[in-house]
């Protein structure tokens, strides 16, 4: 533990690293607030105060458990406003008894924000039953034709998609934006480059390499402390930014709906994950931490190969951009693009994209989610990086 603490002090706990961390946390908060006010998180936030008041009034009326009363109210209001605005002869002047102050404003709110999402929530169970019925037919067909991969995929659907229902209605635009928010990932990468990339080059520059290489505790204990400090810093940064993002998004959009199933968010309607939104966010944060841990080890490996700190920092930036580009191939149908995306640790940091819908491979009749394949590949790469760091560093 003393070695680990010393390594943390040498790189992670330096003044410039802590200052950069504080500035990046503030920058991240400002970015989220700016996106919210611009309507990129919740579009109605960029609308007039009257529209926002109408939005809040309707939402307070229908949020919560889905009942016949709430469905009837929303349906009747939508039909009434649709009839009023259908022929275009409605009044353009402010109207008493409206939610937003205008007839068309009310129609816009129901048409854009509430009615489609309520319709999705109510119809989800029946739509999923149709998918399960088709999967059952497909399973029989593939079993009879000897298609092992097709049979495994449809068996997975039958086992993991049955019994789904959405019991409550909330607007999940804030949660959806939180799950796709990746600006903080860039800040974490920059902090890792700043703190971890000089792990070995700093000691070469100040002449400590020869001393450490001749010391018994300067071998494996030093290697584990350096790698451990980098991995620990990656986990701390990921958890810190994940909690900050959750707090800021929650204060802006509300924490309601965190216990709803993930598929209550329409963009995740075909997700293989059946747990709650908050549980999914925690899972994605853990995958991000693993991805950034591999990134930290990669930066340490670059540091072990060069004499000057500038080189691993610059190469780390370039390599990060290249690997992030490969991440975009995760859902490609081309096998070599998928292989490159599995090698990229940033595929884990954007793992929510792989779980928006069912994506995986059949191996020996067992269906594995693609995110699990990526996780296995990254675990192997992590072990190989530790071995490579030992061979290239003074810790032999």
Q: Is residue 45 part of a domain?
A: no
* Region 320-338 average pLDDT: 87
Question: Which residues, 6+ apart, have CB-to-CB distance to 52 below 8 Å?
Answer: 44, 45
Q: Is residue 357 part of a domain?
A: yes
* Region 32-60 average pLDDT: 91
| Same-domain status, 272 and 380 | yes
**Is the per-residue pLDDT at 208 higher than 70?**
no
Q: Is residue 208 part of a domain?
A: yes
- In DSSP notation, 287-346 reads HHHHHHHHHHHHHHHHHHH-SSTHHHHHHHHHHHHHHHHHHTTTT-SSHHHHHHHHH-TH
| Same-domain status, 210 and 251 | yes
- With beta carbons less than 8 A apart as the criterion, state whether 324 and 345 touch: no
Buried b / exposed e along 71-82 (16+ C-beta atoms within 10 A): beebeebbeebe
- With beta carbons less than 8 A apart as the criterion, state whether 301 and 385 touch: yes
Q: Is residue 275 part of a domain?
A: yes
Q: Is residue 244 part of a domain?
A: yes
Least confident of 83-92, 231-240, 361-370: 83-92
* Region 196-205 average pLDDT: 73
> Which of the 8 DSSP states describes residue 350?
T
Question: Which residues, 6+ apart, have CB-to-CB distance to 265 below 8 Å?
Answer: 172, 175, 176, 179, 277
Domain that holds residue 68: 64-168
Question: For the chain, what is the domain count?
Answer: 2
Quote the CA–CA distance of 297 and 308 in Å, as a whole number: 18
Least confident of 3-17, 73-87, 143-157, 277-291: 3-17
H helix runs in 87-218, sequence order: 103-109, 115-145, 148-160, 173-180, 183-196, 201-205, 209-213
- With beta carbons less than 8 A apart as the criterion, state whether 180 and 157 touch: no
Q: Strand pairing of 360-363 and 366-369?
A: antiparallel
| Same-domain status, 220 and 241 | yes
**Is the per-residue pLDDT at 392 higher than 80?**
no
> Of 153, 168, 183, which closes a domain?
168
Joined together, the tokens standing for residue 142 give: 């593939």
> Of 137, 152, 168, which closes a domain?
168
Which contacts qualify for 162-165: CB closer than 8 Å, 24 or more apart?
162/132, 164/124, 164/125, 164/128, 164/261, 164/263, 164/274, 165/124, 165/125
Buried b / exposed e along 113-123 (16+ C-beta atoms within 10 A): bbbebbebbbe
Quote the CA–CA distance of 129 and 157 in Å, as a whole number: 11
**Is the per-residue pLDDT at 395 higher than 60?**
no
| Same-domain status, 285 and 198 | yes
The overall average pLDDT reported for the chain is 88
> Of 168, 193, 220, which closes a domain?
168
Question: Which residues, 6+ apart, have CB-to-CB distance to 184 below 8 Å?
Answer: 28, 241, 242, 244, 245
Residue 376, pLDDT score: 94
* Region 209-236 average pLDDT: 72
**Is the per-residue pLDDT at 288 higher than 90?**
yes
- With beta carbons less than 8 A apart as the criterion, state whether 304 and 391 touch: no
**Is the per-residue pLDDT at 310 higher than 90?**
no
Q: What is the pLDDT of residues 95-148, one digit of tens each?
A: 888 898 888 988 999 998 999 999 999 999 999 999 999 999 999 999 999 899
């Amino acid at each position: 533990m003393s070695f680990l603490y010393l390594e943390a002090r040498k790189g992670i706990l330096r003044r410039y690293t802590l200052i950069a961390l504080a500035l990046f946390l503030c920058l991240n908060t400002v970015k989220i607030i700016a996106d919210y006010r611009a309507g990129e998180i919740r579009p109605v936030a960029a609308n007039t105060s009257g529209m926002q008041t109408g939005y809040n009034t309707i939402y307070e009326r229908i949020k919560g458990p889905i009942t016949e009363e709430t469905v009837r109210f929303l349906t009747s209001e939508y039909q009434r406003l649709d009839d009023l605005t259908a022929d275009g002869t409605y009044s353009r002047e402010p109207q008493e008894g409206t939610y937003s102050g205008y007839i068309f404003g009310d129609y816009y709110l129901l048409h854009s924000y509430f009615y489609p999402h309520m319709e999705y929530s109510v119809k989800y169970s029946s739509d999923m039953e149709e998918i399960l019925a088709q999967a059952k037919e497909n399973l029989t067909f593939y079993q009879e034709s000897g298609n092992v991969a097709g049979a495994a995929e449809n068996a997975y659907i039958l086992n993991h998609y049955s019994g789904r229902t959405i019991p409550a209605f909330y607007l999940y635009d804030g949660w959806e934006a939180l799950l796709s928010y990746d600006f903080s990932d860039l800040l974490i990468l920059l902090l890792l480059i700043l703190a971890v990339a000089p792990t070995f080059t700093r000691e070469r520059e100040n002449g400590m390499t020869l001393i450490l290489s001749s010391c018994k505790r300067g071998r494996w204990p030093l290697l584990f402390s350096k790698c451990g400090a980098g991995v620990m810093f990656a986990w701390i940064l990921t958890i810190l930014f994940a909690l900050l993002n959750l707090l800021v998004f929650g204060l802006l959009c509300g924490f309601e709906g965190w216990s709803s199933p993930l598929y209550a968010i329409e963009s995740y309607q075909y997700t293989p994950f059946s747990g709650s939104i908050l549980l999914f966010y925690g899972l994605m944060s853990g995958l991000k931490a693993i991805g950034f841990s591999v990134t930290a080890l990669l930066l340490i490996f670059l540091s072990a190969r060069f004499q000057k700190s500038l080189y691993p920092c610059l190469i780390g930036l370039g390599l990060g951009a290249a690997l992030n580009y490969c991440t975009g191939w995760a859902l490609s149908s081309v096998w070599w693009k998928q292989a490159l995306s599995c090698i990229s640790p940033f595929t884990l940091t954007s793992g929510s994209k792989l779980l928006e819908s069912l994506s995986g491979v059949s191996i020996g009749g067992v269906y594995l989610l693609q995110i699990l394949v990526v996780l296995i590949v990254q675990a192997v790469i992590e072990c190989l990086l530790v071995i490579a760091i030992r061979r290239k560093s003074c810790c032999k």
